[in-house]
Structure 1
C-alpha cells in the first residue's frame, strides 16, 4: 500500500487503485507499507530514484543505512513494535529525502506512525518541506519511545512490589512464585534491550540528518532535530538506568530463590540432626545380642523411650537457643 500525505496533513491512498502518472506538488510524504515490486517500480518511476529492497534495509553497515545517492538521502532506523504483545521486535524503516519529499518504506506497523498520521489530521499543520515533516515524525518516534520506557518502569515498580514483600506475605505465596516472576523480568529486559538498540539507531540517523547541507538552510527543521537529538540522548541514558534496575531485580530474585532453597535445606538438616540420636538409641537396643542387661529391666522399655525423647528434645532446644530455627 502507498499512502500519500499532502503538506496540509490530509492523506490519500495511491495503491491499491488507479496509479497516477505524476505526483501533485503539494504531496510531501509517500508512505510505503509492505510494498510489492509493482508499487516499488511505480514510486521509482514517479520520483526517478531507486528504492532499497527489504534485504538492503537489514544491512547493519553504516554505509548501507546512511548515505546520499543519485539525488536522494537514504536513512534507515530500527524501530520497536509489537510492544503490547509481550514479544517486542525491531523493524527497519527507510527514510528517503528526494527533492522536497519524504519517502518511508516499512514492513511493519510501529505505533509511532499511526500516532503521527492521526496528529496530522487533527492539527492540520501546513508543512513546508519533507525535511521538516521527517523531523516531526522523528519527534513522534522519540515520544513513543519515551512512553514505552515509562510504561516499562511502572511495570517494573509493580513487579518489585510483588517480589520484595514482607515475610508474612511471602509465606502465603504459591509454590514457584519467584520462578514465575523471572519470566516477567526477562520480558522487561527484552523490551528495554530492543528499545536501547532502537535508540542507538535513531541517534546515528539524527546525527547524520543534522549534518546534511539541506538542514543547515532549514532553521525550523534544524531546531526540531536538535531537540530530537537531545531527547534521544536522554532516553538512552534513562534506558541504561532502567536496564540496571532490571539487572538488580534479576539478581535479587535469584538471591531470594536461593534463600528459600537454603531454608528448606536447613529444615532437612536440622530434622536429620534431631532424629539422629533417637535413631542411635533405637539401633543400640535393636541389636540381637544374647546378653543385654537392659532387656531384663522392668522399666527398660520406658527408659529407652525416655532416652530417645530426651536425645531429640535436647538438640532441638539447643538449636532454638542458638537462633538457628
Structure 2
C-alpha cells in the first residue's frame, strides 16, 4: 500500500491514481506499507530512484545503514513493535530523504507511525520541509519508546511488590510462584534489550542527519534533530537504569528461590539428624545376640523406647538453643 501526504498548509492524504505518470510537487511524504513489488517499481519510476528491497533491509550491515547516494539520503533504523505481545520485535524501516520528499518503506506497523499519521492531519500541523517532517516523525518514535520504557518500569514495580512481600504472604504462595516470575523477568529483559537496540539505531540516525548539509541549512529541522538527539540520550540512560533494575530483580528472585530450597533441605537435614540417634539405639537393641545382658531385662523394652525418645529430643532442644531452627 502506498500512502501519500500533500503539504497544503496542513498535511492531507492524497489518493494516487492507479498508474500515475508523475507526482505533484507538493507531495511531501510517500509511506510504503508492506509494498508489493509492483508498487515499489512504480515509486522507483516516479522518483527515478532505486529503493531498497525487503531482503536488503534485513541483510544490510549496521555500518552500511546510513549513506548518501545520488543526492538521496538513505537511512535504515530498527523500531520496536508488538510490545504488548509475549515476544517483542524489531522492524527494520527505511527512511529516504530525496529532494523535498520523505519516503518510508516498512513491513511492520509500529504504533508510532499510526499516532504520527493521526497528528499530522490536524489543522494546526504545519511542516515546511521533508527534513522537518522526518524530525517530527522521529520525535513520535522516540516518544513511543519512552512510553514503552515507562510501561516497563510500571510492570517492574508490580513485579517487585509480588516478589518482595511479607513472610506470612510468602507462605501462601503457590508452588513454582518464583519460577514463573523468572519467566516474567526474562520477558522484561528482552523488551528493554529491544528498546535499547532501537534507541542506539535512532541515535546513530539522528547524529547522521545533523551532519547533512540539507539539514544544517534548515534551522527548524536542525533544532528538531538536536532535540531528538537529547531525548534519545536521556532515554538510553533510563533504559540502562531499567535494565539494572531487571538484573537486580533476577538476582533477588534467584536468591529467594535458593533460600526456599535451602529451607527445605534444612528441614530434611534436621529430620535426618534427629532420627539418627533413635535409629542407632534401635539397631543396637535389635541385634539378637545370645549373650546380650539387656535381653534378660524385664524393663529392657521400655528403657530402649525411652532411650530412643531422649536421643531424638536432646538434639532437637540443642538445635533450638543454638538458634539453628
**How far, CA to CA, are the matches of 2:12 and 2:152 in structure 1?**
33
Deviation of 1:19 (Å): 2.5
The change in CA–CA distance for 1:283 and 1:317 in structure 2 (over 3 A counts) is same
Deviation of 1:124 (Å): 4.3
**How far, CA to CA, are the matches of 1:238 and 1:256 in structure 2?**
27
**How far, CA to CA, are the matches of 2:158 and 2:4 in structure 1?**
43
Q: Show the counterpart of 1:322.
A: 322
Q: Show the counterpart of 2:46.
A: 46
Q: Show the counterpart of 2:97.
A: 97
| 3-state SS of paired residue (1:3) | strand
Superposed CA offset, 1:134-189 (max 9, x none): 00000000000000000000000110111111111111101111111000000000
Q: Show the counterpart of 2:160.
A: 160
CA contact (8 A) 1:56 1:64 kept: no
Residue correspondence of structure 1 range 259-298 to structure 2 within 5 A: 259-298=259-298
Gaps of 5+ in 1: none
Superposed CA offset, 1:35-69 (max 9, x none): 11101110011111110111221245355211111
Superposed CA offset, 1:272-295 (max 9, x none): 000000000111111110122222
Q: Show the counterpart of 1:34.
A: 34
**How far, CA to CA, are the matches of 2:63 and 2:294 in structure 1?**
95
CA contact (8 A) 2:78 2:93 kept: yes
The change in CA–CA distance for 1:269 and 1:123 in structure 2 (over 3 A counts) is farther
**How far, CA to CA, are the matches of 1:71 and 1:207 in structure 2?**
18
CA contact (8 A) 1:59 1:65 kept: no
**How far, CA to CA, are the matches of 2:59 and 2:135 in structure 1?**
23
The change in CA–CA distance for 1:62 and 1:273 in structure 2 (over 3 A counts) is closer
| 3-state SS of paired residue (1:256) | helix
Q: Show the counterpart of 1:128.
A: 128
Residue correspondence of structure 1 range 83-232 to structure 2 within 5 A: 83-232=83-232
The change in CA–CA distance for 1:291 and 1:133 in structure 2 (over 3 A counts) is same
The change in CA–CA distance for 1:309 and 1:20 in structure 2 (over 3 A counts) is same
| 3-state SS of paired residue (2:238) | helix
Q: How many residues align?
A: 323
TM-score between both structures, scaled by the size of structure 1: 0.97
CA RMSD of aligned residues (A): 1.2
**How far, CA to CA, are the matches of 2:279 and 2:121 in structure 1?**
84
Q: Show the counterpart of 2:311.
A: 311
TM-score between both structures, scaled by the size of structure 2: 0.97
